[in-house]
Structure 1
Amino acid sequence: MRRIAVAGASGLIGNALVRSLTADGHEVRRLVRRAARGPQEVCWDPEREYVDAAGLAGCDAVVNLAGAGVGDRRWSEAYKKRIHDSRVLGTRALARAVAALDEPPRVLVNGSAMGIYGETGERIADEDAPPGRGFLPELCVEWEAAAAPAEEAGVRTAFARTGLVVARQGGAWGRLFPLFKAGLGGRMGDGRQYWSYIALHDEVAAIRHLLDRDDLSGPFNLTAPEPLTNREITEAMGRVLGRPTVFAVPAPVLRTVLGEMAGDVLGSARVVPRRLLESGFRFAYPGIDDAIRAALA
């Protein structure tokens, strides 16, 4: 049994990770933004860079998946600041708390996103690809850099650069499923932009792979091996759900409704998990049809 602290435990990925860890008999300490209600909770306030470090004592590992939802609302300047601070300040606070422990954990798996690469077009991006430009790429660079105190203290640190998670419960697919089930789904823009996705099951398995392997550190793309275009994913959704996909959302409409965030919907991210595959990780649901079916099961 291991003792693992998880920040962002109430989110889509964090909740699934906690269920997986506890099912295998591990002890999980959840970081909460209120007074702790027992030894299984650790009080923290990411925006104020506060962590009750005593609650992390004795933990073998820390997983940080906390952050305000990127797709939860239109990006005002105030909300962009919240997206930034919840990730960068929270990561820095957690990394400093970990580094200050007399016996720090062996590993920190810190959240990140494939958004670090920005617009890739047809170009394939593995972990050696340079960061892109714009709000999300610059945020991701700063987010990963904020973990430096833990790395400098000798804690093995891995970054989970997550793609679009295929799940019913939340994220992009949580919004897509109701539309497609109602027969209102369709491609976005011209549909030629690449979407790099990952089944929720594989996301959790990949994070646990990074926790378990003492030889793995640095960035890892958590995406399925073969990115697909939005048009191909639209066809798969219709195929699996047995619904028509005749509707299309024109790019100008998306830009009007979503504002700056439309760039991520219309942009192309052809991201591949080279380092994850080289480390021996095997995907349970590498294809989009199976990933969709797994989300519906």
Structure 2
Amino acid sequence: MDQSRIVVAGSSGLIGAALVRSLVADGHEVVRLVRRAPRAADEVRWDPDGGEVAAAVLAGCDAVVNLAGANVGARRWTEAYKESLRRGRVRGTGALASAMAALKPGERPRVFVNGSAIGYYGETGEEIVDESSPPGEGFLPELCVEWEAAAAPAREAGVRTVFVRTGLVVAREGGAWGRLFPLFKAGLGGRLGDGRQFWSFVSLHDEVAAIRFLLDAEELSGPFNVTAPEPVTNREISATMGRVLHRPTLFQVPAPVLRTVLGEMAGDVLGSQRVVPARLLESGFTFAFPDVEGAIRAALN
């Protein structure tokens, strides 16, 4: 994409902040949608929970990227927190999509890249799943289905719409690995449950590169799994973390303990998802860090 005006929601999160840095470094104009009062010239306030965004903010921009939403793993899934997760994602996406649809055809962005997650597929065990696989059952699959459906107004108005179904992002700054690194560095790391569950990971570098690839690829729309090509088990990840960090991995967190501490969310920590990025690979995208050791070393460096 030539130098463009790109609106980004969720720009303070792990992926959003990295994406903004990448876009600005290449000379793009980025408008950041924020929940608080604006503090900089590139910020505009919006209310994703209330489902409100001014259409004028999006008029004439080339692309909209929506990565907004409360952290799924930040706390136990009480009914109130699950509603907060749902509200921010679904209402925020709907607000952006409706605002785009309300614009005149010549003012609408060319592409809408909306966040989603591999939670869409639910528990899949050892079965390899790609974008043709159906949604699973449970809170996260239902949330992802509703989240993606909320983008319908933009798609129906002719805006190319892409869903980024992101896996577990390998980064020091946040996400699942942001919690794992300190534990393993302290020598307290180890497998979760029996460790046989598959984790579909992606390096932060490749996550940002994939989003930018999808922004540029004018022929691509619909869902894309953003995960490295070779998912690995939690047991393999623990061994690799220990090897890279030169620390023992003797500890194991039994499944009953995880269920006690995490509640309903433990099902997703212990669950297995062997997700592959079939459509990205078919489209010619190349992963810089396709294996978990490379992704971990990239995060540390």
Q: In structure 2, what is the equivalent of residue 212 of structure 1? A: 216
Q: In structure 1, what is the equivalent of residue 187 of structure 2? A: 183
Residue aligned with 1:75, SS = coil
Where in structure 2 are the equivalents of 1:95-106 lying within 5 Å?
95-102=97-104, 103-106=107-110
Distance 2:227 2:95 in 1: 28
8 Å contact from structure 1 (residues 188, 251) kept in 2: yes
Q: In structure 2, what is the equivalent of residue 76 of structure 1? A: 78
Shift of 1:245: 0.3
CA RMSD of aligned residues (A): 0.8
Q: Which of 14, 17, 31 in structure 2 is aligned with 1:29?
A: 31
Residue aligned with 2:252, SS = coil
Distance 2:66 2:237 in 1: 29
- The percent identity for this pair of structures is 76
Distance 2:119 2:194 in 1: 20
Q: Which of 287, 293, 296 in structure 2 is aligned with 1:292?
A: 296
Distance 2:126 2:37 in 1: 48
8 Å contact from structure 1 (residues 126, 221) kept in 2: yes
8 Å contact from structure 1 (residues 61, 211) kept in 2: yes
Q: Which of 103, 107, 112 in structure 2 is aligned with 1:108?
A: 112
Q: Which of 135, 141, 147 in structure 2 is aligned with 1:137?
A: 141
8 Å contact from structure 1 (residues 41, 55) kept in 2: no
Shift of 1:32: 1.0
Structure 2: runs of 5+ lacking an equivalent: none
8 Å contact from structure 1 (residues 193, 267) kept in 2: yes
Q: Which of 15, 21, 40 in structure 2 is aligned with 1:13?
A: 15
Distance 1:35 1:245 in 2: 45
Q: Which of 119, 124, 132 in structure 2 is aligned with 1:120?
A: 124
Q: In structure 2, what is the equivalent of residue 63 of structure 1? A: 65
Residue aligned with 2:274, SS = coil
Q: In structure 1, what is the equivalent of residue 273 of structure 2? A: 269
Q: In structure 1, what is the equivalent of residue 48 of structure 2? A: 46
Residue aligned with 2:68, SS = coil
8 Å contact from structure 1 (residues 197, 224) kept in 2: yes
Measured against aligned partners, the alpha-carbon deviations of 1:182-229 in whole angstroms (never above 9, x if no partner) come to: 000000000000000000000000000000000110000000000000
Distance 1:39 1:132 in 2: 42
Shift of 1:41: 2.0
Measured against aligned partners, the alpha-carbon deviations of 1:3-61 in whole angstroms (never above 9, x if no partner) come to: 00000000000000000000000000000113445652222101111102212122100
Question: For structure 1, which segment, 166-175 or 53-62, has the greater mean C-alpha deviation from structure 2 after superposition?
Answer: 53-62
8 Å contact from structure 1 (residues 224, 273) kept in 2: yes
The TM-score, its normalising length taken from structure 1, stands at 0.99
Q: In structure 1, what is the equivalent of residue 225 of structure 2? A: 221
Residue aligned with 2:64, SS = strand
Measured against aligned partners, the alpha-carbon deviations of 1:131-167 in whole angstroms (never above 9, x if no partner) come to: 0000000000000000000000000000000000000
Q: In the alignment, residue 266 of structure 2 is paired with which amino acid?
A: A
Distance 1:155 1:38 in 2: 29
Q: In structure 1, what is the equivalent of residue 259 of structure 2? A: 255
Q: In the alignment, residue 174 of structure 2 is paired with which amino acid?
A: G
Judged with a 3 Å threshold, the aligned counterparts in structure 2 of structure 1 residues 258 and 274 are, in CA distance, closer, same or farther, namely same
Q: In the alignment, residue 88 of structure 1 is paired with which amino acid?
A: V
User: How many residues in Structure 1 have an aligned counterpart in Structure 2?
Assistant: 297
Q: Which of 63, 88, 91 in structure 2 is aligned with 1:89?
A: 91
Shift of 1:100: 1.1
Q: In the alignment, residue 54 of structure 2 is paired with which amino acid?
A: D
Shift of 1:101: 1.5
Q: In structure 2, what is the equivalent of residue 278 of structure 1? A: 282
Q: In structure 2, what is the equivalent of residue 150 of structure 1? A: 154
Distance 1:188 1:281 in 2: 32
8 Å contact from structure 1 (residues 43, 52) kept in 2: no
Q: In structure 1, what is the equivalent of residue 240 of structure 2? A: 236
8 Å contact from structure 1 (residues 89, 146) kept in 2: yes
Structure 1: runs of 5+ lacking an equivalent: none
Q: In structure 1, what is the equivalent of residue 174 of structure 2? A: 170
Distance 2:36 2:179 in 1: 29
Distance 1:50 1:74 in 2: 27
